[in-house]
């Protein structure tokens, strides 16, 4: 399976350079980074949250996790929570569960990017499947996703 058609069309219309490559199916951002030989700090993981009732994408490197308290401060939110499985199904009907790309404008969602990821030259992310990835320069990603950049990622506590 290739990148889902809606993602492909969004990237085509964005008119920025990118490449798509297939990889061994993997189901967590860390596993995907490993099978693609991409450093975890360069794999952009989209974590879907609801901020004051609105869905947003919090994008962090694969080797980090979202600190909801910090994200709430960055977003100026009074309430914040992770999206549940059923919400992911209706928010991203074209994507395999957990493989949504960090392309918020495609889904009418704001994108928040942790500054650790924003410092990278190039990023890689899911293209809507667990078997295909998209690679592009961070600056080109920022031009099409219009992220708000802040510090809200942390090392996993259980690692």
Mean pLDDT, residues 89-116 taken together: 96
- Say if residues 132 and 23 touch (Cβ distance below 8 Å): yes
Tell me: pLDDT of 159 over 70: no
| pLDDT tens-digit map of 109-146 | 999 999 999 999 999 999 999 999 999 999 999 999 99
Q: What is the pLDDT of residue 157?
A: 81
Report pLDDT for 57. Answer: 98
The tokens describing 49, both together, are: 């949250």
CATH 3.90.960.10 is right for the domain spanning 5-154: yes
Radius of gyration of the chain (CA): 14
pTM score, whole prediction: 0.94
Give the tens place of pLDDT for each residue, 1-50.
Answer: 578 999 999 999 999 999 999 898 888 888 899 999 999 999 999 999 99
Check residue 27 and give its pLDDT. Answer: 87
H helices of the chain, where?
Answer: 5-14, 29-35, 68-75, 85-91, 115-118, 138-145
């Amino acid at each position: 399976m290739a990148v889902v058609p809606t993602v492909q069309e969004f990237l085509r219309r964005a008119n920025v350079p990118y490449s798509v490559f297939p990889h061994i199916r993997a189901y967590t951002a860390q596993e995907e980074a490993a099978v693609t030989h991409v450093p975890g700090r360069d794999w952009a993981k989209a974590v879907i949250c609801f901020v004051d009732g609105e869905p947003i994408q919090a994008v962090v490197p694969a080797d980090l996790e979202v600190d909801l308290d910090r994200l709430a401060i960055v977003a100026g939110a009074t309430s914040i929570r992770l999206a549940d499985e059923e919400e992911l199904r209706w928010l991203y009907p074209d994507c395999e569960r957990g493989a949504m790309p960090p392309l918020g404008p495609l889904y009418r969602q704001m994108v928040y990017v942790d500054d650790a990821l924003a410092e990278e030259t190039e990023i890689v992310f899911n293209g809507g499947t667990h078997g295909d990835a998209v690679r592009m320069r961070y600056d080109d990603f920022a031009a099409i996703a219009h992220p708000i950049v802040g510090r809200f990622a942390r090392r996993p506590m259980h690692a």
